């Protein structure tokens, strides 16, 4: 058991509270990490607003760090290794895992528990939950070995952290889920961390036209910076018409990075016949219904879900970091600000104001 500093969720819509908590030592298949950096994601804000987790809990699920200690059965990483952690850990032996879709592993929950049964995080003996099995808004993290992938030592850890969620989700949505083809046209709704990553994925895939759509003019400039060829302001009355005009009748692929009923509809409506819409952002509440005009299906338009970029992150993250080293994936400019853990509530304020691409907590 060690004392560490963590940002603790105590009550919905209240600032996270910086406190000293206790972290356990690794069970046989667990790894203790020294957190180096953690991105702040919209899902963290969603949790802060009281939609998922019951307090007390530690949020944060987009981290990179350095291995501090390993359980006696851990074989994939060693002390001193640089790693990215991802919430898409998987058992490796269920039908989804064998089918090549480990991000949809059906045994994931059974892997969240500990052999020793105790809580990984606690305070004076009272358990504290870890968001997504990670909990990276803390100086250290204790995680299952299958939540980790080793990366090269020369990658800056603040940039590597983005691969824990935003990059894996967005670039993966373009490359894995939609399989954007070279020479195609693409529309991306919502230019935050995930939307920028989809734009970059489409660019890497060789799309000839990438249309970024957002309500904020600064974000449209950001879309162009990362590879969009055109932009449309989402406030305009004829968003779908504008996209169809730009793409000469409709795009081949459309993505909703936000998670919004209206955008899901617009994604389908701005497609050419046989085009493919991919819903990347989670729509809340999950019981909401998306209504779609039936006529669009007469021309074989398709719409599909996407969970965390259909990732196989142990394979994907090193590939993305190779693209980073080659200058083809821009991680440097995705970080709009770095801040210490003590200032984490400012990151949420900036996100609510729609001011930033990504804030990263650095330790």
**Does 136 sit near Zn ion (CB under 5 A)?**
no
Cα–Cα distance between 267 and 232 in angstroms, integer?
Answer: 13
Edge to edge, what strands does the sheet with 271-279 contain?
230-233, 209-214, 185-189, 251-256, 271-279, 302-305
Cα–Cα distance between 147 and 51 in angstroms, integer?
Answer: 24
List 86, 105, 163, 165, catalytic entry: 165
Cα–Cα distance between 233 and 263 in angstroms, integer?
Answer: 13
Is 306 catalytic? The answer is no
Query: CB 134: neighbour CB atoms within 10 A?
Result: 28
Among 16, 23, 41, 171, binds Zn ion (CB under 5 A): 41
**Does 97 sit near Zn ion (CB under 5 A)?**
yes
For Zn ion, the closer CB: 243 or 335: 335
Cα–Cα distance between 265 and 303 in angstroms, integer?
Answer: 10
**Does 43 sit near Zn ion (CB under 5 A)?**
yes
For Zn ion, the closer CB: 282 or 292: 282
List 61, 82, 144, 230, catalytic entry: 61
* Nearest residue to 173 (alpha-carbon basis) of 325, 4, 346, 316: 316
CB 254 within 8 A of CB 186: yes
**Does 165 sit near Zn ion (CB under 5 A)?**
yes
**Does 94 sit near Zn ion (CB under 5 A)?**
yes
Query: CB 71: neighbour CB atoms within 10 A?
Result: 17
Q: Which stretch binds Zn ion (CB under 5 A): 6-14, 109-117, 162-170, 197-205?
A: 162-170
Query: CB 253: neighbour CB atoms within 10 A?
Result: 28
List 41, 86, 105, 306, catalytic entry: 41
Task: Label the pairing between strands 230-233 and 209-214.
Answer: parallel
For Zn ion, the closer CB: 91 or 290: 91
Is 43 catalytic? The answer is yes
Q: Which stretch binds Zn ion (CB under 5 A): 96-104, 117-125, 173-181, 300-308?
A: 96-104
Is 103 catalytic? The answer is no
**Does 83 sit near Zn ion (CB under 5 A)?**
no
**Does 105 sit near Zn ion (CB under 5 A)?**
yes
For Zn ion, the closer CB: 86 or 271: 86
DSSP 19-64: EEEEEPPP-TTEEEEEEEEEEE-HHHHHHHTTSSPPSSEE----EE
**Does 107 sit near Zn ion (CB under 5 A)?**
yes
CB of 21 to Zn ion, least distance (A): 22
CB of 254 to Zn ion, least distance (A): 21
CB of 105 to Zn ion, least distance (A): 3
**Does 90 sit near Zn ion (CB under 5 A)?**
yes
**Does 40 sit near Zn ion (CB under 5 A)?**
no
CB of 126 to Zn ion, least distance (A): 27
Beta bridge partners of 128: 121
For Zn ion, the closer CB: 43 or 359: 43
For Zn ion, the closer CB: 22 or 90: 90
Element counts in the chain: helices (H) and strands (E): 12, 18
For Zn ion, the closer CB: 11 or 95: 95
CB of 38 to Zn ion, least distance (A): 10
Cα–Cα distance between 72 and 87 in angstroms, integer?
Answer: 22
DSSP 203-219: HHHT-SEEEEEESSHHH
**Does 213 sit near Zn ion (CB under 5 A)?**
no
* Nearest residue to 166 (alpha-carbon basis) of 128, 201, 205: 201
Is 61 catalytic? The answer is yes
Is 46 catalytic? The answer is yes
Q: Which positions lie near Zn ion, rule CB under 5 A?
A: 41, 43, 90-91, 94, 97, 105, 107, 165
Q: Which residues does the annotation mark as catalytic?
A: 41, 43, 46, 61, 165
């Amino acid at each position: 058991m060690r004392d560490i500093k963590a940002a603790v969720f105590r009550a919905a819509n209240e600032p996270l509270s910086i406190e000293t908590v206790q972290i356990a030592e690794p069970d046989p298949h667990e790894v203790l990490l020294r957190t180096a950096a953690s991105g702040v994601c919209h899902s963290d804000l969603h949790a802060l607003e009281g939609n998922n987790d019951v307090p007390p809990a530690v949020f944060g699920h987009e981290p990179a760090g350095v291995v501090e200690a390993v359980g006696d059965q851990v074989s994939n990483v060693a002390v001193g290794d640089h790693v990215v952690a991802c919430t898409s850990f998987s058992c490796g032996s269920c039908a989804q895992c064998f089918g090549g879709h480990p991000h949809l592993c059906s045994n994931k929950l059974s892997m969240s528990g500990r052999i020793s049964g105790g809580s990984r995080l606690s305070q004076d003996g009272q358990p504290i939950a870890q968001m997504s099995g990670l909990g990276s808004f803390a100086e250290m993290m204790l995680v299952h070995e299958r939540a980790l992938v080793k990366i090269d030592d020369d990658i800056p850890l603040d940039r590597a952290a983005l691969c824990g969620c935003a990059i894996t989700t967005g670039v993966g949505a373009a490359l894995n889920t939609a399989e954007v083809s070279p020479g195609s046209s693409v529309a991306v709704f919502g230019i935050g961390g995930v939307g920028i990553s989809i734009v970059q994925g489409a660019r890497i895939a060789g799309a000839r036209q990438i249309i970024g759509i957002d309500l904020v003019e600064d974000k449209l400039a950001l879309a162009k910076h990362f590879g969009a060829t055109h932009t449309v302001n989402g406030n305009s009355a004829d968003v779908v018409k504008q996209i169809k005009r730009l793409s000469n009748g409709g795009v081949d692929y459309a993505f909703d990075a936000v998670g919004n009923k209206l955008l899901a509809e617009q994604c389908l409506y701005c497609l050419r016949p046989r085009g493919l819409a991919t819903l990347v952002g989670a729509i809340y509440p999950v019981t909401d219904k998306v209504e779609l005009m039936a006529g669009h299906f007469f021309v074989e338009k398709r719409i599909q879900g996407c969970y965390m970029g259909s990732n196989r992150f142990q394979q994907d993250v090193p590939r993305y970091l190779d693209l980073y080293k080659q200058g083809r994936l821009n991680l440097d400019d995705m970080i709009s600000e770095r801040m210490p853990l003590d200032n984490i509530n400012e990151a949420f304020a900036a996100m609510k104001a729609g001011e930033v691409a990504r804030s990263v907590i650095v330790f």
